[in-house]
Amino acid sequence: MALHILTICYLIASVTFILGLKMLSHPESARRGNLVAAAGMTIGIFGTIFLFEQEVAGRPAHLNNTVLIFVALTIGAILGFISAKKIKMTAMPEMVSLFNGMGGACAMLISIIEFNHYLHTAIRPVGNLIFLTEELTTVSIIAIVAGLVIGSISFAGSIVAWGKLRGIVGDTTFKGQRNLNMFFLLVLAAAVVTFIIKTPVTSDELSGVSLPGGAVAQSSWAITSFHIYLFYGILALSLLYGVLFVLPIGGADMPVVISLLNSFTGVAAACAGFMYNNQAMLTGGILVGAAGTLLTILMCKAMNRSLLNVIVGSWGETAAAAGATSNEQGAIKEISLSDASMVMSYATKVLIVPGYGLAVAQAQHICHELEKILEEKGVEVKYAIHPVAGRMPGHMNVLLAEADVSYEKLLEMEDANDEFKTTDVVLVLGANDVVNPAAKNDPESPIYGMPILEVQQAKTVIVNKRSMKPGYAGIENDLFFQPKTAMLFGDAKKVLQNLCAEIKAG
C-alpha cells in the first residue's frame, strides 16, 4: 500500500513541476507557478520521508534518521527564506549561481554515498576483486558516474561564477589555457570510460564463489581496488575541470554560463532520480536540464555565438585590437538634465533600454516613476529588452517586474527594433554592448553579427552611463559617437530622480 501511495505522490509532484514550468512562461502567472511547483516538491519530500522505508522493506533502510533529516530541512528552509528575502536585485545572479551550485553538490554527494553503499554491501571473493551484486548494472554505474561528474562540474563552476559575479574572482586567462582545459576534459573522459568497463573475471576466480540468493557470479559487476581510487580521481578531476571551465569566461557571457550550469544540475538530479527510481527527481531533473539547455541555445543565438565559442573563447582576446582605433571615432556630445527633460516631455513615444547599470544603481523604481510622469504628459512609454542584458537570463524582466512595471510594456528585441523607427527618444540606462552598432556595421568587431537593439534608428538617443568605460566586451561603443546620440553622465538613480524633478517642474 505504501508503495502505491508513494508512486501517487511522485506522480503528483511530476505533474506540478510541468504545470509550474508552464506557468513560469508568463510574468502574471510566474509567482503562482513557483508555488505550484513548490507544493509538488513538498509532497514528494514528505512522501519519501514517511513512505520510502516501507517501500524497501527487507532491504537496508536509507531513511533511518528522520530527526536529522528534519533538522537539515529546517536549517535549509530558514537559510533559503532569509537569503531570498534580504537579497538585493543586483545580487540576484549571485544567489542563483550559489543555489545552483548547492544542487550540483547534492547530486555529487548522492553519487559518492551510493557508490560507497554498494561497496559496503559487496562480496570480496578473490583478492582485491569486488563483486557488486545489489542490482548494480552497467547502466546504474553509468548513472552514478554521470551524476558524480556533472554534479561536480556544476558545483565547482557555479561557485566560481558566484565569485566572479560578486567580484571576488577575476577573469583569469593565460597562454595555453584552452589546450589545458581540453587536456583535462579528455583525461576525465578517458577515466570515466575506464571506470565503466567491467573487469574480466575468469572461471578460476569464480570457482567456489557463493553469492547470496543464488545469484550467478558471471552476471555480477566486478571491480578492483584500482577502480575505487579511480572513482575519487574522477571526482577530483571533475571539480578541477569545473573551476578551469568557468575561470576564463568573461562577464558578458555570464548569463549563458549560468543557464548552462543550471542545465548541468538538472541532468545530475535526473541521474540521482534514476539511481533511486524516484520519478519526481527524474522528471524534475529532466525538465530543468531540458529547459536550461534550450535557454542556453537561445541565448547563444541572441549573441550570434556558438556554445563552444562561449566555453573556450572570450571577447576579451580581441578587445584590445578592436579598441586600438577607438580614439579616432570622434567626439561625444553631452546633454544637460534640463535639455533631456524637455526633449522627453515633448516626445510622442519614448523607449527605455534597461541595462546592468540600472540594476547596479537599484533605479528600477524611480525608472517606473519616470514612466508614469511621462505618461501623465501624454507620452507613450515602453521598454526594450535585450535577451542577454544583465548578468543572468531574464535579469531585466525580473528587475522591472519588481518595480511593478506592466509586462505589456516590455518589448522583446524583435518587436522593439520594429518600433525604434517611429520613436522620438530612446533612453539607454546602463546598457552597452547590446546597443553597439558595430555588431551590424563593423566586420572587424569581436561582436559582429550579434543581434542588438537598433536604437540608432530613433530620432534622438540619450545614453546614461557613469563614464565612458567600455562594456564587458571590452570595446568602445560606436553609438556614443553618432550625431543623434547625447551622453548623460551620472549614477542612474540620481539622474532619473533629477529627470523626474525637472519634468514635473516643467
CA 382/CA 407 separation, integer angstroms: 10
Sign (positive/negative) of CA torsion 243, 249, 255, 261?
negative
CA 110/CA 351 separation, integer angstroms: 49
Look up residue 427 and give its three cell numbers. Answer: 533612453
Read off φ and ψ for residue 39, nearest 5 degrees.
-65, -40
CA 272/CA 285 separation, integer angstroms: 9
Run of H or E residues at 97 = helix 92-120
Sign (positive/negative) of CA torsion 88, 434, 292, 409?
positive
CA 234/CA 28 separation, integer angstroms: 44
Question: 2-23 and 27-55 are packed helices; what angle lies between their axes, rounded to 10 degrees?
Answer: 160
The active-site residue, picked from 204, 339, 418, 433, is 433
Residue 433 among the catalytic residues: yes
Q: Which of 387, 374, 392, 447 is nearest to 416 (CA)?
A: 387
Look up residue 72 and give its three cell numbers. Answer: 537539515
- The C-alpha angle with vertex 179 and arms to 178 and 183, in degrees rounded to 5, equals 120
Do residues 61 and 27 lie in contact, with contact meaning Cβ atoms separated by under 8 Å? no
Q: Which residue's C-alpha cell is 555588431? A: 439
CA 100/CA 160 separation, integer angstroms: 12
Q: Residue 487: left if φ>0, alpha if ψ -120 to 50, beta else—which one?
A: beta
Do residues 223 and 115 lie in contact, with contact meaning Cβ atoms separated by under 8 Å? no
CA 184/CA 197 separation, integer angstroms: 20
Number of H helices, E strands in the chain: 19, 8
Alpha carbon distance, N-terminus to C-terminus of the chain: 74
CA 152/CA 271 separation, integer angstroms: 13
CA 306/CA 113 separation, integer angstroms: 37
Residues labelled catalytic: 433
